[in-house]
Structure formats: C-alpha cells, structure tokens
C-alpha cells in the first residue's frame, strides 16, 4: 500500500468515524525489513493495512495498537529481540520480541479516535448556536431537522432545540439508543409538558436534562450553548483513585501466549491462530504456528511462564 493509498484509507476511516492507530517507523536498527517512514493502520478488528515490519513485528504492533484503542492514548514503542535490562526511557514502551530476525524498531503509535458526536435537532437560533459552539470545540456536530433520522450508535449527546416540532419522537429515539446525554431546550413549564407526553418509564424520563444546560444565567443563544456543553463535560466520567475513567473506545484486547515462543499476542480475527483438539491457539508469526502444527505435544508438554 502506497503512502497516498494509506492516507486515503485513513480519510475514509475518519469520515466513517472508525477509530484506528497510525503506526509509523521512526527508527530502524539493522537488520530489519522496515525503514523509517514506513507506516500502517491498526484497525479495531486487529487487521493491519500498510507495513511496519515482518509478521513478528506486526504481531507486537497489533497488540499494542489494540491496547491504545482501548485507552485512547499514543506511545513510542521500541521492539527489540533481546531482553531490555535497562530501564526504559520515559515515554517509551519497550517490548521484547524474540522472534525478530534481528535489529530494533522504534514505532510511534498514534491513536486516532473519532471526536465526540453530538446531534442537534432543530433549526432555531439556539440550535444553530449549539452547532457553532460544538464545532469550535472540535466536536462532530450533526445539525438536522429530520425526526426520522436514526441515532448513530456512538452518539454522545442529543440536544433537542426544535421549539415544539417533533420533540417527543426524537427524545424517545435518543433514550432507546441509550445516548449518554439527552437534553431538551425549553422553559421549565414547557419541559414538564413535553416530558409528560413521553410514554417511557420514569427512570428513563429522568435521564432527560430539561431544561438543558447548567444554570449559569445564560441568556443569549451562544450562552445557552455554552451552558449545555458545560453540562455535557460535567457529566463525563472522571478518573480517580477509586474508579478509573471508562475507556473511550473499547475494552482492552483479549490476549494469549504463543505456545512456541512465549510472546503475548492479541486474540483477534486478524491474528494467526490454529485449532488443536478444540482449543484455539494464537501465534506471533507463521513460523511459530508451523512449528506448533508439526509437533504440538512438544510445546504443550512444557508450559510457558
């Protein structure tokens, strides 16, 4: 895959709101098959498009990439065939990969997570202000007036600012889609009347922020928009000593030990695997898989640490 093709693929993923990790080789110590500038995309299913080294290096990049998709972070990864006795420099994750043909790779892994998706329903001055402020905050804002439009699966917030037009069906759809933040822009009196029309359970009705936004004395449309985004931020999960913040994208990837070399590998549809006596085994590369296929009892008889 050429650089232009890789960029085009990344653009498509961005448009489709698919998270990915951009892996770029920044240093290569011979002998390696990769060179600085080589790059690849790690997708949520574990597949890798592009090139950052052979299958063994690719296996490490797959596992680390899936971990980063779960955390939303980025890192500098050093992949080396020898045990790293020295303490890794700050900001560098060192992974021993005994299956490498030699040399060391340093790869920057950048998690590219879709921005928070906010749907604003309505064409009122307040609705337009909410869209403008959200765009300024680098959020993905969808402003529409189509009540029949389905709620995207990863929508974080639905704000109804239609002033009486199709409010109930949009609120009902947002609740059914389990959108984390659902709000109605209306006065306290009209908010109560609209909520009374909703044929949902009381606990579901209580999830709707009506009137929308924190009480900051907002008067203008843009001030009201500010109060709504302040409420969205205030509701966001926080990390603390007792409860870490929820992952932004997915859970940490399932992992397995390669029974031949002992490496930790990702359990994903794109990982190399082999079924033996009804058990799925996962491998860092084709060499380990073929060795296991030829003599499985040799490796099963000696449990790996």
CA atoms of 2 and 181, how far apart (whole Å): 41
pLDDT on residue 263: 87
- Phi, psi (degrees; rounded to nearest 5) at 18: -100, 120
Helix (H, G, I), strand (E, B) or coil at 122: coil
CA atoms of 38 and 216, how far apart (whole Å): 50
**Verdict on whether the full-model pTM lies above 0.85:** no
Query: Are residues 29 and 36 in contact, defined by beta-carbon separation less than 8 angstroms?
Result: no
DSSP symbols for 175-222: HHTT-SEEEE-S-HHHHHHHHHH--S-HHHHTTEESS-S--S---SHH
pLDDT on residue 243: 39
Domains of the chain: 3-112 (no CATH), 117-235 (3.40.50.720), 255-300 (no CATH)
pLDDT on residue 100: 66
* Token pair recorded at residue 50: 């592009």
Q: Which class for 9: exposed (0-12), middle (13-18), buried (19 or more C-beta within 10 A)?
A: middle
Helix (H, G, I), strand (E, B) or coil at 26: strand
Question: Tens place of pLDDT for every residue, the chain, 305 residues?
Answer: 788 999 999 999 998 999 999 999 999 988 788 899 999 999 999 999 999 988 888 999 999 999 999 989 999 999 888 765 556 777 788 888 776 667 789 999 999 999 999 999 999 999 999 999 999 999 999 999 999 999 998 999 999 999 889 999 999 999 999 999 999 999 999 999 999 999 999 999 999 999 999 999 999 999 999 999 999 999 876 644 333 344 455 667 899 999 998 889 999 999 999 999 999 999 988 889 999 999 999 998 755 54
pLDDT on residue 201: 94
Q: What is the CA radius of gyration of the chain?
A: 25
- Residue 216: how many CB atoms within 10 A of its CB? 12
* Token pair recorded at residue 134: 């959200």
pLDDT on residue 55: 85
pLDDT on residue 106: 94
pLDDT on residue 152: 92
- Residue 212: how many CB atoms within 10 A of its CB? 25
Question: Dihedral of the CA atoms 131, 132, 135, 137 (nearest 10)?
Answer: -110
CA atoms of 272 and 59, how far apart (whole Å): 9
pLDDT on residue 305: 46
pLDDT on residue 107: 96
CA 68 to chain centre: 8
Query: Are residues 268 and 45 in contact, defined by beta-carbon separation less than 8 angstroms?
Result: yes
* DSSP 3-state percent helix, strand, coil across the chain (nearest 5): 30, 25, 45
Query: Are residues 208 and 182 in contact, defined by beta-carbon separation less than 8 angstroms?
Result: yes
CA 301 to chain centre: 39
CA atoms of 21 and 74, how far apart (whole Å): 8
pLDDT on residue 84: 55
pLDDT on residue 75: 94
Beta bridge partners of residue 181, listed in sequence order: 157
């Amino acid at each position: 895959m050429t650089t232009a093709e890789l960029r085009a693929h990344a653009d498509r993923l961005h448009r489709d709101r698919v998270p990915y990790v951009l892996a770029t080789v920044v240093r290569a110590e011979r002998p390696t098959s990769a060179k600085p500038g080589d790059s690849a995309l790690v997708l949520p299913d574990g597949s890798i498009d592009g090139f950052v080294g052979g299958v063994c290096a690719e296996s490490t990049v797959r596992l680390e990439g899936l971990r980063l998709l779960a955390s939303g972070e980025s890192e500098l990864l050093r992949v080396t065939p020898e045990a790293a006795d020295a303490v890794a420099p700050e900001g560098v994750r060192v992974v021993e990969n005994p299956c490498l043909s030699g040399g060391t790779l340093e790869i920057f892994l950048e998690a590219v997570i879709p921005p928070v998706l906010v749907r604003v329903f309505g064409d009122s001055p307040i609705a337009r202000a909410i869209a403008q402020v959200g765009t300024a905050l680098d959020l993905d804002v969808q402003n529409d007036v189509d009540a029949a439009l389905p709620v995207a699966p990863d929508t974080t917030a639905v704000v109804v600012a239609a002033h009486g037009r199709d409010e109930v069906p949009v609120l009902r759809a947002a609740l059914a889609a389990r959108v984390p933040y659902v709000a109605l822009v209306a006065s306290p009196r009209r908010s109560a009347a609209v909520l009374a029309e909703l044929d949902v359970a009381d606990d579901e009705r209580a999830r709707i922020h009506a009137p929308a936004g924190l009480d900051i004395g907002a008067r203008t449309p843009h001030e009201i928009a500010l109060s709504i985004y302040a409420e969205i931020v205030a509701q966001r999960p926080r990390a603390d000593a007792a409860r870490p913040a929820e992952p932004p994208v997915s859970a940490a990837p399932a992992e397995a030990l390669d029974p031949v070399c002992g490496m930790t590998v990702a359990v994903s549809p794109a990982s190399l695997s082999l079924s033996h006596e009804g058990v799925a085994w996962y491998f860092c590369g084709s060499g380990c898989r073929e060795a296991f296929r030829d003599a499985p009892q040799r490796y099963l008889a000696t449990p790996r640490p």
